[in-house]
Amino acid sequence: MDEQRSEDTPLNIPPRPAPPTGYGRPQEAPAQPTPPHAAPPHAAPGHPGAPYRAQSAYEAHGEAQGAAFGATQPTQPLPHDGAPQAVWAPQPRAEERKSKGGGRVAAAILVAALVGGGAGFGGGWVSNSLTAGGGSVAESGSAPSNITVNNPGSVNEATAVATEVLPSVVTIEVAGGQSSGSGSGVVISEDGYVVTNTHVVTLGGTAADATVRVTASDGRIYDATIVGTDPTYDLAVIKLEGASGLTPIEFADSSKLNVGATTVAVGAPLGLANTVTTGIVSALNRSIEIASAAAPEGDSVEGEDEGQGEGSSPWFFDIPGQEDQQAQASESIAISVIQTDAAINPGNSGGALVDSEGKLIGVNVAIATADQSSSESGSIGVGFAIPSNVVERVANEIIENGTATHGLLGASVQPSSQVEGATITGAYIAEVVEGGAAEAAGLQEGDIVTRFNGAKINDAVDLTAQVRAAAGGSEAEVVYVRDGEEHTATVKLGTLE
């Protein structure tokens, strides 16, 4: 509030008053002359007559925009030598960005992995024209910075998240036989355990004992050994030899995600290390079925749609240079994934999908492409990541035991939409295996499963994906409909062999 003046106080008005020094307050001291070359005073928005002052990136967008982002920590200044510096730690946003609209596409799932090097994407232009991105790596001691910040006064949320996450993401190069390729990985321990995809370290199931080398974000190079693979959920763990002092990523609880939440994908698409893209969570509990040459025998979804025979599933691994091997795959896997519109391209596989705080919410696994005939198709805004809760469980089991377990329901299921007389979507139980988990829980032929551990079940793929996400021998809550009435049962799952 302005200072009060008594009525008998005489006014002393100079012929040409100097600009006021505050937001509408009387001038209390003589105005200082404007220094040479200094910016002239300007009124701040919403405060006539106020002098110009520097604003942060959020303030520059107005009070409403700043409130959406929440309070920020002050930006750290660069030293006079101009060297890039780390920026402030990421802060959660108070309001998530709205989802982008999009029409329907006839899409096929494409594994985001490079197999066959640059030649797989048209004559090797990647390695020849972008040597700074993936063709050469600096030696330890002269390694490039994780991220360049040229203007610390304009740092935004994505910059902060990238600075937080990049030290925990690595580029993986794999060679086996006549094939080679690259993908990404996420550091989960200081001594060098890294989680990635099975299809990255096995070159899509074609290399059983591949040679693996890893480049950290700071340029250090490590040889790596494969600790174990889990083809059922396309996850694998590798160990960097001689590593110490690495920066493990922090896991978020993927069960608490909301559609519309901010996502940041970090990895090495097309071999371009330290690449960052942003988007939102566009769908949760999305289930996809993918033909996989690495899948264990008998792991396919039972009760396929009529007319949808072997090899005709719309979701498959289409790895550049390995199309023939994938087309011959006789097994498939069903996985529950997070869908995001953050740009994910071949080479992002195994990389991190994180939230606005830089915590891991998923491991990138596949993308959709509108062009099934071309291996050069990139992101169309539909990417998929394995939820962090599944990643953490599977990775820990692989480190401890060399393998991971997955649930088994003990029933043959099919989409209820194909069953005459069904009035609700779900997974229709066509047959119950004698002595299996479903029978022990009281499930019967004709029951329609509508929820599994809280996740909505729309068809057989949904149910299989959710059952496999659970650990073998664990308990699960199943909601099903029998004769028009809803029931709930607790099932102790078997273990997939």
Catalytic positions? 199, 234, 349
Give the Cα separation of 26 and 22 in Å (integer).
Answer: 8
* 3-state SS record for 327-347: HCCCCEEEEEEEEECCCCCCC
The secondary structure of the chain in percent helix, strand, coil, rounded to multiples of 5, reads: 15, 30, 55
- Residue recorded with tokens 């002050």: 74
Tell me which amino acid residue 27 is. Answer: Q
Helix or strand or coil: residue 312?
coil
Beta strands in 100-247 (DSSP E): 108-111, 114-115, 169-176, 179-187, 193-196, 211-215, 221-230, 235-240
Q: Please list the residues that pair with 332 across neighbouring strands.
A: 291
How many angstroms from the chain centroid is the CA of residue 277?
Answer: 10
Quick check: 183 and 197 in contact, CB under 8 A? yes
Helix or strand or coil: residue 475?
strand
Helix (H), strand (E) at residue 80: none
Tokens of 121: 């994407």
Tokens of 457: 């079940």
DSSP 7: T
Residues in the chain: 497
Give the Cα separation of 456 and 461 in Å (integer).
Answer: 12
Q: Please list the residues that pair with 265 across neighbouring strands.
A: 277, 353
Within 8 A by CB and 6+ apart from 270, the residues are: 114, 121, 126, 134, 345, 346, 347
Give the Cα separation of 76 and 86 in Å (integer).
Answer: 8
Give the Cα separation of 97 and 105 in Å (integer).
Answer: 23
Among candidate residues 265, 290, 295, the one with its CA nearest the CA of residue 186? 265
Q: Give the alpha-carbon dihedral of 145, 150, 156, 157, to 10 degrees.
A: 0
How many angstroms from the chain centroid is the CA of residue 381?
Answer: 13
Quick check: 66 and 59 in contact, CB under 8 A? yes
Beta strands in 273-410 (DSSP E): 275-291, 332-340, 352-354, 360-369, 383-387, 407-408
